[in-house]
Structures are given as structure tokens and as C-alpha cells.
Structure 1
Amino acid sequence: MRIRASVAVVGGTLALSALAVPAAQASGSDGDTKITKVVVDGDNKVSIGTSAAVTVKVSVTATDNSGIKGAEEFDLYGPDNGYATTGKPACVKVNATTSTCTASVKIDPKTDYLTNKSAGTWYVDAWVDAKDGNYIWKEKAGSFSFQRATKLTANAAPEPVKKGKTITVTGALTRANWESLKYGAYGSQSVKLQFRKQNSSTYTTLKTVKADSKGNLKTTTTASADGYYRFSFAGNSSSAAVNSAGDLVDVK
């Protein structure tokens, strides 16, 4: 047995422990079974905040000429000994040879003792069995971003303003600290200032602004029409993308 000292998720729940997991083995297969697709939470991004539990869904699509019989629990793992195991997957037939097997695990930042260093790229290991006895065991069958949730604010002033005059937009970017269970400053990040006219549904980027060391944002633009101003952060492998609420400015 290999012992992985970590925050472990077993059978769809998390527990702080030294987890005994099967001895490491290379990916392997028998027969023509193949894994063709792995999707985590629909877009391969998982964002965890500081209070709400999050259910992470993993879907593995596999094929074999005899059809798919089932799959074992999926292992998820990432930096700083991050480790999780889903519940038993349920497999749904796509056609005679292909099925998608889906399972989930609940992660609660209040009780699961996540570390900030665990944010980043995580991987999925998957074992799938075919009806004729063939199988595939694939390490790193898929990957996803395990991210600290972020928050972003924006305030445009003055309101109202004369056309052609200067508008100042301020805000702040923060992100979840899984160790303190609070949101803290996320400084020195590039954030876009965006605008949409009042009767439009589309935002246009006006400029890119860099937050200071405390995550504070401040920039100016010229008033042209009634509309909403917001900041937009694109995110990265460890921190989730986020848009602030739009702040409406009335132009006279």
C-alpha cells in the first residue's frame, strides 16, 4: 500500500486523514477499451469559496466493441497532496459500444481543511470495465482547474455625469483563503474595464487595469452614453474568473 498524507475524499465525502490508497501502477488496458472524454463540472473548472459546499461532478466517456459494463470510483488529485475520490459512477449508454460514467464528490471548505497551495491543475484517474472482460486503467485521463473563488466590485462616479466628462471607476479584487475561511486581497492582477450601453446586452472592453498590491482598482474613462461599467477578471489555473456587477451611469 502507498500512504498519502492528505485531505482525503472517500466515497463522495472528505475526511482529514492519512489515506491508504492502492500501490501506484502505470496506466494499462486489456483489449480495445478506450476512454474518449473526461469532463469535470461541465467546463473542467471547479471554484471553491469559503463557506458553501460544492458538489464536483466527473463524467468519463469510454468505448469498447462489447459495450461498457461499469467504472470504479474516480481519483482526483492535485498540488500539495490534494486528493479526492468520488462515489461509485453510474454509467449511461450512449450507443451499443459507448457509455458515459458519472460520479460526484462534495467538498466543503468549512470542514475539509483545504490548503491554498492545493489550488491549481488537478487530474482524474479512471478505471473502466467492458462487458467482455476488457478494461482500461488510465492515470491523468483528464485534467481540470481547482480554483480559489474570487470576488470583484466596481463603482463608477460621478452619477449622473455630463457627456464628455471624466468618470472614475474604482473596485477591488479578492479571493478565497481556504485556510482562514475569509476573502483576502488579490493584488497585482490584470483586470479589464468594460462598458455596455443601457439597452445593450454586450460588454466592450475599454482598457486593462492592474490592481495594486492590496487588490484595489482605480481608473478613468470618458462619459459617452448611458450605460453600465464593470471590471472583469479572466482568472487563472488557481483563481476563478469573475465579473463585477455593472454600475449604471446616467449621462446628461
Structure 2
Amino acid sequence: MKTPVRRGFPAGRRATTVLAAAGTMLAGTLLAAPGAHAADSDITFSDVVINKGKPIVLGTGAEVEVPLTYTVKTKVKLDDWWVSAYRGTFGQNEYTLAGSTIQWSCAQSSAGGYTFYDCKESMFVDPDAMVNGRTRVNGDATTWKTVATAIKIGGGYDDDLLSYTTRLKRASVIEGADASPEPVTKGKPITIKGTLKRANWSTHRYDLYGGQKVTLQFKAAGTTAYTNVKTITTTSTGALKTTVTAAEDGTWRWYYAGDSVTGAKATTGDYVDVR
């Protein structure tokens, strides 16, 4: 089993600090690599899964820790190895998704002349990170390719361009979600409001998000599941407002399912006492 180590990826603000702390320059190999080359048949990476197969949703504040699992199969002895997600053309103008990773568990086994490492790691994705000389921009909300790198004991390395991809999305929020009046007389109207916004990585703020379908959901008192009541479309300024008839005690919330570049969001819910 490998000793857990936090590894910085190239040219990041965070990577510089991490490499100094870890006392290793292995991650710098990617910076100096002359480009992708034919994968070594004695080293293969498989079963790569990032964020348990779900999109990575990133806001404008704290970095997000993302689970990463994969298997290494090798006939040669390795000094180090890793999997990273990137955009661009590998070996020419690529930039990486994460600022660093922690490899915290690699279970080792052997069969048929091969050594296997089943690895569990964490990738750290930061909305403020410099990645290969650039800050994160909204265009990063797209599909990211993956590459695996193995460093051989005694020198040499192997890059394996993988078929696995992952998707990065901009986080959404629904502000001012409120159901009123509270309490309310049975048969009287309840008005539910809110405002949909989504992360803007270029400006480090949340912008109003208009023209989006958002669903009003209700959970009756004493139950555990929400049911869909109606779906409305946000105004050009992201505003949400609708009216329902008070029938029983329960909790109201908004649910936004997201889109191809925006993550889903559900509000915490607002309980209304019907009398």
C-alpha cells in the first residue's frame, strides 16, 4: 500500500505550496513531458470513476473534494502513478481540472505475472485556482478528458490517454425561498417566492438565471417524501413566484433539476401551518 501523499498538479497556485510541503517533484513530470506517446502495453489503467460517476458541481468559494478510483495493472515496477482530468490537447496546451490530489489507499495484489493496484484518491477542484497559467472560466463547465501517468523505477514514464470523461458544472442557488403567510387558513392562498442564480467563475459571484424551469414541491406533515406540485419558468431576472391553495400542514420547497452546464439545487423547505 502506498503512503498517502497530497500531489500538486502543474502550474497551480495551490500546487506550488503542495509540492514544497510534500517534498516531491514527480508532478512536474507533466510540465516537462514532450507530449503524449504510445501507451506501454505492460502498464494499463482501468475502472476509472470520478465523483462516483456524477457531474462535479463547483461554486465560487471553497474548493470541492472529489473522489477518484481506478486500477493500475503493471508488469514493470513503478515509482508513482496518477490519473488527472484535463481540457485541450494533451502534451501541447492541456490544463488540468484539479489543483492537487491525495492518494490515500492503493490495495496491492498479484495475478498472472501482473501487479494490480486498486486506488482510492481525492481530487481538489478550486474555483479560484490557477491551472496551467489561467484562472477558471465559465467555459470550463463542460466535459473533461482523462489521462493516466506512470513513473517507472529507474527512469521513464508512460502516459495513457483514457476514454473516461467527467463533467464540470456551475453551482446553482435559490435565494429568498419563502412560503407565506404563516400560519394560513385552510382554503386560503399560499404564495411561494424565490430567485434562481448560478455561479459565475469569471467574476466570482452568482448571477441571476432566467428562463429556467423550476418545480414547486410539497411534503405533507408526518411524511418523508416530496411530491411535485407544479413547474414554472423563472423570469428574465431569475424570479420565482406562484400561488397554491392551503389544504394541509406541510413543507414547501423549490427544486431546480439543472441543465447541461448547471448543477441541480433544492431549497431546504419552508413549513406552513394550516389552520
Equivalent residue letter for 2:70? V
What secondary structure, in the 3-state scheme, does the structure 2 residue paired with 1:50 have? coil
* Alignment match of 1:30 (pick from 41, 53, 56): 41
C-alpha distance 26-199 of structure 1, shift in aligned 2 (>3 A): farther
C-alpha distance 9-130 of structure 1, shift in aligned 2 (>3 A): closer
* Alignment match of 2:96 (pick from 83, 88, 94): 83
Q: Conserved in 2, the CA contact under 8 Å of 1:123 and 1:140?
A: yes
What secondary structure, in the 3-state scheme, does the structure 1 residue paired with 2:139 have? helix
Q: Conserved in 1, the CA contact under 8 Å of 2:172 and 2:265?
A: yes
Partner of 1:40 in structure 2?
A: 50
Question: What are structure 1's unaligned runs of at least 5 residues?
Answer: 1-7
C-alpha distance 236-136 of structure 1, shift in aligned 2 (>3 A): farther
Is residue 10 from structure 1 mapped to residue 1 from structure 2 by the alignment?
no
Deviation readout 1:184-212 (Å, 9 max, x if unpaired): 11111111110001221111111111111
Deviation readout 1:184-242 (Å, 9 max, x if unpaired): 11111111110001221111111111111111111122222100000011123321111
C-alpha separation in 1, matches of 2:182 and 2:102: 55
* Alignment match of 1:142 (pick from 134, 158, 164): 164
Q: Conserved in 1, the CA contact under 8 Å of 2:106 and 2:119?
A: yes
Deviation readout 1:14-40 (Å, 9 max, x if unpaired): 58xxx9463443664515x65442222
Is residue 126 from structure 1 mapped to residue 141 from structure 2 by the alignment?
no
Equivalent residue letter for 1:25? A
C-alpha separation in 1, matches of 2:203 and 2:11: 27
Equivalent residue letter for 1:92? C
C-alpha separation in 1, matches of 2:122 and 2:226: 35
C-alpha separation in 1, matches of 2:257 and 2:72: 32
Q: Conserved in 1, the CA contact under 8 Å of 2:102 and 2:123?
A: no
Deviation readout 1:33-79 (Å, 9 max, x if unpaired): 65442222334322221121223342213456x69967623231237
Structure with greater strand share of residues? 1
What secondary structure, in the 3-state scheme, does the structure 2 residue paired with 1:25 have? coil
C-alpha separation in 1, matches of 2:226 and 2:80: 44
Is residue 93 from structure 1 mapped to residue 114 from structure 2 by the alignment?
no
Q: TM-score scaled to structure 2, two decimals?
A: 0.71
Number of equivalenced pairs: 237
C-alpha distance 227-38 of structure 1, shift in aligned 2 (>3 A): same
Q: Conserved in 2, the CA contact under 8 Å of 1:14 and 1:106?
A: no
C-alpha separation in 1, matches of 2:266 and 2:194: 11
Q: TM-score scaled to structure 1, two decimals?
A: 0.77
Q: Conserved in 2, the CA contact under 8 Å of 1:92 and 1:101?
A: yes
Equivalent residue letter for 1:73? W
Q: Conserved in 1, the CA contact under 8 Å of 2:251 and 2:272?
A: yes
Structure with greater helix share of residues? 2
C-alpha distance 142-218 of structure 1, shift in aligned 2 (>3 A): same
RMSD: 3.4
Q: Conserved in 2, the CA contact under 8 Å of 1:145 and 1:237?
A: no
* Alignment match of 1:106 (pick from 120, 124, 130): 124
Partner of 2:83 in structure 1?
A: 74
Partner of 1:59 in structure 2?
A: 69
C-alpha distance 100-225 of structure 1, shift in aligned 2 (>3 A): same
Deviation readout 1:58-114 (Å, 9 max, x if unpaired): 2213456x6996762323123796524644746522754543224444333345321
